Amino acid sequence: MAERRYRIDTARGRLVLGRFEIPIPRSKAGRIATGAALIGGGILGFLPVLGFWMVPLGFVVLSHDLAFVRRRRRRATVWWSRRQAAGRKKATD
């Protein structure tokens, strides 16, 4: 099975996003606080420095510890991949 491009490497305490690696706290409370802060900062994405890109990153961090966030993220991932596959199929027809 191919290695996932987006995951949390618990052995090294890093969030792996493709070829980028971002250190995250090893404690559950630290990860939840980091994820919530990313989502909160992403909501203020209209301000300089902060951005809307922080919202999905916050959900990825939170999904490691919170099952209901993990289920929602997985559903969104499946929906998005099916949507892209349908778009590619239409383009080739």
Per-residue pLDDT of the chain (93 residues; tens, 9 = 90+): 455 677 777 788 888 888 888 888 888 898 899 999 989 988 988 888 778 888 888 888 898 889 999 899 889 889 989 998 888 887 776
Number of domains in the chain: 1
Provide the whole-model pTM: 0.69
Residue 23 is assigned to a structural domain of this protein = yes
1 within a domain of the structure (yes/no)? no
| Residue 64 covered by a domain | yes
- DSSP one-letter string for the chain: -PPPSEEEETTTTEEEETTEEEE--SSHHHHHHHHHHHHHHHHTTTSSS--TTHHHHHHHHHHTT-HHHHHHHHHHHHHHHHHHHHHHHHHH-
